[in-house]
Amino acid sequence: MVSSYRCVPLKFIYCVVILLFMTTSNLVAAPPEVSAARIGGDGTKTRFVLEISGSPAFRTFSLANPNRIVIDLDEVSWDIGPGGAVGKGLIKNYRYGLYTPGTSRIVLDLNSPVKIANSFVIKGKGGKPDRLVFDFEKTTQTIFTKGISSPVARAQAVNSARTPATTPSRGKKVIVIDPGHGGHDPGNLGGIKVNGISEKNVTMSASRNIKRILEASGRYKVILTRDRDIFLQLRERSLVAHRNNADLFISIHADAFRSPNVRGATIYTLTGKASDREAELLAARENKADVIAGVDLGDEQDIVQNILIDLVKQETMNLSNRFASELSKELKKAITVRKRSLRSAGFVVLKGIDVPSVLVEMGYLTNSTDARLLMQKETQDKIGRAILEAADNYFAQNFAFN
Ligand SMILES: [Zn+2]
């Protein structure tokens, strides 16, 4: 008894020391940095190498439809470009970024099914970074499909409560602004050639500015679905609006098109049937975000596609359309908009919530003028003020401020 009595405080002190040490070292230590990614080999054997300072723990799994290999690492920082790159050999292309706090993810889109023949770390000598090496070999679809397991992804999709609900400030309308893409989903890379930016960066920068302008009015409380370069599933984004009893949900994006001449903003609302072919294709691209990011939606995709749309009440859709037309009016005064600025399609991010929602494509990153303007504060201010005007008009029509 005596010895255990003496042990407890000692253990306690020991724990405190350890905790202090951990806290201090966490504050000081930056995450390992990936400084290069290289691919070598051909269509039968391909090697994927990451140069990395320090050796974070990693694990891999595979996903089908389309075939992908996912590599999850302890959180790392990236010093190898904007978030997506073209592959070689068995790898079609790859994307990388922060998946959840503490976990970074690389998704390899495959040209054919592969098996991971080997994965190992080569320690760097003389101050050189370590090399994390993955060797892939071509295999059959049957063998590839047999090896699929991704329990973590499924669990995270279901348990998607990353943003805690907050109580809205009294009298203020709550607007959720959703910066499209993020983490290992860079969005469209149409702006890379023009000014080296990916969609996820444009949407983040513009959204922060929109938040600032809306909140400066004193009439709105604004919640961002993400406030850093991190991945969020489409459904989690709309859930942020739902959980916070938002009055409006605005998803912010920037478009890409094969013709570099096309420019201007478009506002989209949700419908079962797309307003036109272009809107349908755009929705299909934006809806791919979860697939691109290596999330195994499994049956959930069917649920999102088939059931959630029924939950959106007609009234919510009417309100969405009303806000969209207010916003179209204001954006036309502020920036260049497409000729048909109001369109609709089946965007997953707008589905399944009881909050009036629109998706704004602010312009085209494949157009050099749009790409340049969209990263300028002046343009972002114009967009922010247009959203503020539109929100004021919309709420004045629909509700009295309380
Ligand atoms: Zn987008």
| 33-149 and 157-398 in the same fold | no
Q: How far is CA 176 from CA 145, 170, 356, 361, 395, in A?
A: 39, 16, 10, 16, 15
- Is the pLDDT at 28 greater than 60? The verdict is no
Q: What is the mean pLDDT of the chain?
A: 81
Give the CA distances from residue 185 to residues 83, 145, 232, 240, in Å, rounded to whole numbers and listed in that order.
7, 24, 9, 19
Which pLDDT band holds residue 289 (cuts at 50, 70, 90)?
Answer: confident
Ligand 1 ion: Cβ-proximal residues, 5 Å cutoff? 180, 187, 253, 286
- Give the list of residues 6+ apart from residue 8 with CB closer than 8 angstroms, or none: none
Inform me whether the pLDDT recorded for 16 exceeds 80: no
Q: Are strands 33-41 and 45-52 parallel, antiparallel or unpaired?
A: antiparallel
Distance 188 CA to ligand 1 centre (A): 7
Give the pLDDT score at 292.
64
Beta strands in 170-247 (DSSP E): 173-179, 220-224
Q: Model confidence at 170, in pLDDT bands (50, 70, 90)?
A: low
48-76 pLDDT tens trace: 999 998 878 888 888 888 888 999 888 88
Closest alpha carbon to 267 in 393, 397, 387: 387
- Above 70 in pLDDT, residue 15? no
Q: Find the 180 Cα to ligand 1 centroid distance in Å.
A: 5
pLDDT tens string 78-92 = 888 777 788 999 999
For ligand 1, the distance from its centroid to the CA atom of residue 199, given in whole angstroms, is 7
The answer to whether the CB of 391 falls within 8 A of the CB of 213 is no
Instruction: Decide: 110 and 93 in contact? Cβ < 8 Å.
Output: no
The domain segmentation of the chain, as residue ranges, is: 33-149, 157-398
Position 328, amino acid = S
Grouping H, G, I as helix, E, B as strand and the rest as coil, residue 365 is: coil
Separation CA 204–CA 180 (nearest Å):
8
314-343 mean pLDDT = 93
Question: In whole angstroms, what is the distance from residue 364 CA to residue 190 CA?
Answer: 8
pLDDT at 111 over 60: yes
Q: CATH topology for 157-398?
A: Aminopeptidase (3.40.630)
Q: Which of 321-335, 337-351, 370-384 has the lowest mean pLDDT?
A: 337-351
Tokens representing 88 are 């070689």
Measure 268 CA to ligand 1 centroid, in angstroms. Answer: 12
Give the model's confidence band at 26: pLDDT under 50 very low, under 70 low, under 90 confident, else very high: very low
Q: What's the CA-to-centroid distance between 233 and ligand 1, angstroms?
A: 13
User: In what side-by-side order are the strands of the sheet with 68-74?
Assistant: 58-63, 68-74, 103-110, 91-100, 84-88
d(CA 348, CA 286): 8
Number of neighbours of residue 295 by Cβ within 10 angstroms: 26
Between 359 and 80, whose confidence is greater? 359
Q: Taking Cα atoms as reference points, which of 139, 142, 120 lies closest to residue 45? A: 139
**b/e string for 129-163 if b means 16 or more Cβ within 10 A?**
bbbbebbbebbeeeebeeeeebebbbebbeeeebb
User: Rg (Cα) of the chain, in Å, rounded?
Assistant: 23
pLDDT score, position 229? 93
**Distance from residue 222's CA to the centre of ligand 1 (Å):** 20
Whether 371 shows a pLDDT value over 50: the answer reads yes
349: three-class secondary structure by DSSP: helix
Mean predicted confidence (pLDDT) in 3-23: 42
337 burial (CB, 10 Å; 0-12 / 13-18 / 19+) is: buried
- At residue 156 the predicted structure's pLDDT band, cuts being 50, 70 and 90, is very low
CA of 200 to the centre of ligand 1 (A): 8
Q: What is the DSSP letter of 30?
A: P
Identify the band that residue 158 occupies on the pLDDT scale cut at 50, 70 and 90.
Answer: very low
Residue 300 has pLDDT above 70, yes or no: no
The reported pLDDT for the residue numbered 293 is 63
Are 351 and 242 in contact, with CB atoms under 8 Å apart?
no
Do 168 and 91 contact (CB within 8 A), yes or no?
A: no
Interval between CA 309 and ligand 1 midpoint (Å): 20
What does the DSSP 8-state code read for residue 305?
I
Q: Please tell me the predicted confidence (pLDDT) of residue 296.
A: 55
Can you give the pTM of this predicted structure? 0.75
* Ligand 1 midpoint to CA 116 (Å): 32
**For the sheet containing 114-122, what is the strand order?**
77-78, 33-41, 45-52, 130-138, 114-122
Q: Which helix (H) or strand (E) is 268 found in, with range?
A: strand 265-270
Give the per-residue pLDDT at 346: 83
Question: Ligand 1 centre from 181 Cα, in Å?
Answer: 6
Fold that domain 33-149 belongs to in CATH: Immunoglobulin-like (2.60.40)
Give residue 279 CA to ligand 1 midpoint distance, Å.
Answer: 12
Instruction: Give pLDDT, residue 54.
Output: 80
The rounded percent of the chain whose pLDDT value lies above 90 is 44
> What pLDDT score was predicted for residue 177?
98
Q: Region 242-270: what's the mean pLDDT?
A: 93
User: What pLDDT is recorded for position 20?
Assistant: 43
Q: What residue type is assigned to position 10 of the chain? A: L
- Percent of the chain residues topping a pLDDT of 70: 80
pLDDT value of position 392: 96
Tokens of 155: 């669990």
